[in-house]
Amino acid sequence: MKGLRWTTAGESHGKALVGILEGMPAGLALDLARVDGELARRQGGYGRGGRMKIETDRAELLSGVRAGLTLGAPLALLVPNRDQTIERLPVPDNPRPGHADLAGCQRLGVADPRAVLERASARETTMRVALGALARQLLEAVDVELFAHLVELGGVAVRPDAWESAGARRAELRAGSEFYCLDPGREPELRARVDAARDARDTLGGIFEVRVLGLPPGLGHYATPSERLGARLGGALFSIPAMKGVEFGLGFETARRAGSEAHDAIVPPAEAPHSGSARWGRFARATNRAGGLEGGMTTGEELVVRVAMKPIPTLRAGLPSLTFGTGEPVQATYQRSDVTSVPAASVVGEAVLALELASALLERFPAASVAELRAGLARWADSIRDL
């Protein structure tokens, strides 16, 4: 199995974050301003904390490009940290509930939460967003679009038809929203909910949705468990700190329905003119209850995935904990944090999905160059139209 391979390195308060992306085809014109734009989106959203006022993330491309085009060689990115205080910060004498502190210390056999939290920090997702922004540009080169938006925060949900109602104004509405949502009428209530949590020295979780348009059917695999795309995408999303639930399409609602109301009928394209799968041949889906995935593979419909994020566990009021030395009950150490970062998490969700989907695309259509990728995809599309 080939495709994309990537890794990140760096600590929350270290010198920098570093990322390497292998497997990108040659000939892709990269727009680094768009990478910085995604990094800025990750730092945005109502309810963010003090760290966002310190860092202004910018990515430096160190390798893999000549004259603005990818060479087919590994791409290396660097994002410097302004807050390079890892050697001066104190070591907490107690683990914080909800974080990796205690389990990490038990794993290492040390009473040093900083040895754990510097890497376990969500700061690491900065580099994933940068790498995902590169993978996203590859997907866009073959007309695949990713779009994330907030659907619920602290129990306040946007209107159920926000995606459909937004239509062609989706990008405009999200750009103008402090919560990256598509329901302007809900913004005052969302803002009030965050303000109330801040006043109570508490935090909030929520749910975001990612839609992916333009995916061809058949990405992923049905034969090998590890290659089933639902498992891969779910694993990628669960790898983001604080994510507690992932569902595709109707998700858990499917379990409450009869089979006749849970699956997507296969019909001629003329009977489903707005179906994404209609463009790929003589078979279309009447609905998209599966969320664009069946049998571990894409169906050609929109990929629809929702992700639940828990409230940030660093509370100003502090949760009960115990000291390492004496086991004395204390309030957990407070470190600078957000009231909520669900809008920012949606940007990370887009990024990890872009990386995984671009990899699946290259596995299905191996290519040394972007031109070869486009040609291979076009040949395959022609071959299945009369299936």
Per-residue pLDDT tens digits for 254-287: 999 999 999 999 999 999 988 898 889 899 999 9
| Beta bridge mates, 248 | 305
CB 287 within 8 A of CB 267: no
Per-residue pLDDT tens digits for 110-143: 999 999 999 999 999 999 999 999 999 999 999 9
What is the CB-side half-sphere exposure of residue 182 using CA atoms within 13 A? 21
Q: What pLDDT shows up at residue 150?
A: 98
Q: What pLDDT shows up at residue 362?
A: 98
Instruction: Report which DSSP code applies to 54.
Output: H
Using CA atoms of 178, 184, 185, 189 in order, give the dihedral in degrees to the nearest 10.
-10
Nearest to 116 by CA among 126, 129, 103, 128: 103
Nearest to 311 by CA among 118, 98, 116: 98
- Give the integer Cα–Cα distance in Å for 387 and 385: 6
Per-residue pLDDT tens digits for 64-76: 999 999 999 999 9
Q: What pLDDT shows up at residue 381?
A: 93
| Beta bridge mates, 21 | 6, 75
- Give the integer Cα–Cα distance in Å for 293 and 305: 10
- Give the integer Cα–Cα distance in Å for 344 and 341: 5
Q: What pLDDT shows up at residue 329?
A: 95
CB 22 within 8 A of CB 5: yes
Q: Which residue ranges form the domains of the chain, and what is each CATH number?
A: 5-249+290-384 (3.60.150.10)
- Give the integer Cα–Cα distance in Å for 368 and 23: 9
Task: Take residue 50 and report the two structure tokens written for it.
Answer: 């003090």
Residues of the chain with pLDDT under 70: 1, 50-55, 336
CB 307 within 8 A of CB 353: no
